[in-house]
């Protein structure tokens, strides 16, 4: 059975397991105070060109969003996000659980638009009864988005300028950041993100780690006593080494970008094949997630050979599915998948 179900169906890149094994019996102090964490942070600072960035490692994406957003917001503030943002839909209310509203903006292929953000902020402050409403306290974007799409440099800078004008932080969820950075159609770099955002995280779980996300506060200080906030959220691993060693490995010799590059190559190969098959793309994704619309009948047959993710049903007879490549995708699997698909279409 082939699987393009998600970018987290395999374990970790082999170098990570190798490093975990090599360092396994070293006696290291806990809670992220070990030298591997320190080393990893230093390498991330370098990659971001932010020598003074505050960096923290957490285990997963929802946990990271919850802890960072709660840590950065005042009680009376909420976070602005696209209506399709991960925090809006697929985190089981983890943000609201911490007392904060997710204020939604319309989504455009997963992205928010600067003009709509500006309008939202302006009308809030102009509203005579805004003291009876949730204050917009920060802006959340995902990059790549849940639809695999990317902000351009200009878009990011525009959003950043609006946030700065309204004195609220811009936070970027980079669960799949590597795949965004290595896209063939992007002008956004890690230093640019560090320049535009007040906080962001570099996703490990979906880019070759067993688990782990690196939160970066590039420009401003991390929230005061953020380690305690992490602990309070149940998000502080005793064996911080597990995260430190993984990120140290990912940020040594550019492994993080190499892995991401591979996933993009595989996605482009897949995309080309899908185009040749005449598939209907749900939208144009420049990253590792591809969305196509299939007749249900064909999907049923395809699923005998391939695992893929249900996305939505545009009508009674069709289904949008997601096909994800990753750092671990084999070229042979992509070709095999395309072969199967072609045969199905031919019938």
Subset of residues 301 to 340 that bind its own copies, contact rule: CB under 8 A: 307, 310, 328
Whole-number CA gyration radius for the chain: 21
In the complex, least distance from residue 183 CB atom to its own copies, rounded to whole angstroms: 22
**Of the candidates 46, 90, 152, 184, which one interacts with its own copies according to CB under 8 A?**
90
Cβ proximity to its own copies: between 235 and 277 the closer is 235
Site residues for its own copies, window 220-259 (CB under 8 A)? 224-225, 227-229, 231-239, 241-242
**Of the candidates 37, 40, 55, 94, which one interacts with its own copies according to CB under 8 A?**
94
Cβ proximity to its own copies: between 60 and 273 the closer is 60
For its own copies, which stretch binds (CB under 8 A), given 11-19, 105-113, 139-147, 293-301? 11-19
| Measured torsion, CA atoms of residues 226, 232, 235, 239, in degrees rounded to the nearest 10 | 90
Nearest Cα to Cα of residue 13 among 206, 161, 203, 143? 206
**Of the candidates 40, 54, 63, 288, which one interacts with its own copies according to CB under 8 A?**
63
In the complex, least distance from residue 233 CB atom to its own copies, rounded to whole angstroms: 6
Tokens 């080309």 belong to residue:
272
**Of the candidates 46, 93, 115, 165, which one interacts with its own copies according to CB under 8 A?**
93
**Of the candidates 51, 131, 167, 346, which one interacts with its own copies according to CB under 8 A?**
131
Site residues for its own copies, window 176-205 (CB under 8 A)? 205
Binding of residue 115 to its own copies (CB under 8 A): no
Contact letters for its own copies, residues 17-36 (x by CB under 8 A)? x--xx-xxxxxxxxx-----
Cβ proximity to its own copies: between 27 and 52 the closer is 27
**Of the candidates 11, 106, 191, 254, which one interacts with its own copies according to CB under 8 A?**
11
For its own copies, which stretch binds (CB under 8 A), given 75-83, 153-161, 165-173, 185-193? 75-83
């Amino acid at each position: 059975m082939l699987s393009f179900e998600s970018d987290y169906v395999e374990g970790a890149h082999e170098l990570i397991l190798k490093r975990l094994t090599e360092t396994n019996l070293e006696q290291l102090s806990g809670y992220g105070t070990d030298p591997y964490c320190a080393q990893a942070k230093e390498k991330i600072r370098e990659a971001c060109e932010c020598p003074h960035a505050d960096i923290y490692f957490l285990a997963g994406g929802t946990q990271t969003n919850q802890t960072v957003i709660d840590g950065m917001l005042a009680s009376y503030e909420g976070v602005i996000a696209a209506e399709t943002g991960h925090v809006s839909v697929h985190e089981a209310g983890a943000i609201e659980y911490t007392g904060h509203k997710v204020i939604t903006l319309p989504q455009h292929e997963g992205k928010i638009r600067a003009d709509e953000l500006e309008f939202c902020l302006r009308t809030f402050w102009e509203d005579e009864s805004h003291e009876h409403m949730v204050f917009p306290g920060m802006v959340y974007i995902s990059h790549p988005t849940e639809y695999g799409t990317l902000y351009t440099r200009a878009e990011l800078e525009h959003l950043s300028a609006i946030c700065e004008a309204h004195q609220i932080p811009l936070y970027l969820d980079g669960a799949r950041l590597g795949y965004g950075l290595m896209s063939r159609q992007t002008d956004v770099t890690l230093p640019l993100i560090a320049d535009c955002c007040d906080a962001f995280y570099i996703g490990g779980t979906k880019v070759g780690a067993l688990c782990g996300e690196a939160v970066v506060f590039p420009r401003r200080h991390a929230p005061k006593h953020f380690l305690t906030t992490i602990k309070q959220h149940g998000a502080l691993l005793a064996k911080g080494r597990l995260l430190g060693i993984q990120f140290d490995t990912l940020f040594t010799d550019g492994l993080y970008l190499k892995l991401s590059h591979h996933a993009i190559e595989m996605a482009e190969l897949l995309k080309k094949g899908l185009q040749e098959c005449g598939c209907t793309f749900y939208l144009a994704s420049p990253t590792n997630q591809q969305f196509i619309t299939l007749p249900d009948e064909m999907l049923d047959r395809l699923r005998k050979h391939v695992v893929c993710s249900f996305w939505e049903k545009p009508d009674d007879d069709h289904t949008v599915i997601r096909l994800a490549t990753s750092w671990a995708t084999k070229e042979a699997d992509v070709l095999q998948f395309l072969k199967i698909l072609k045969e199905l279409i031919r019938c």
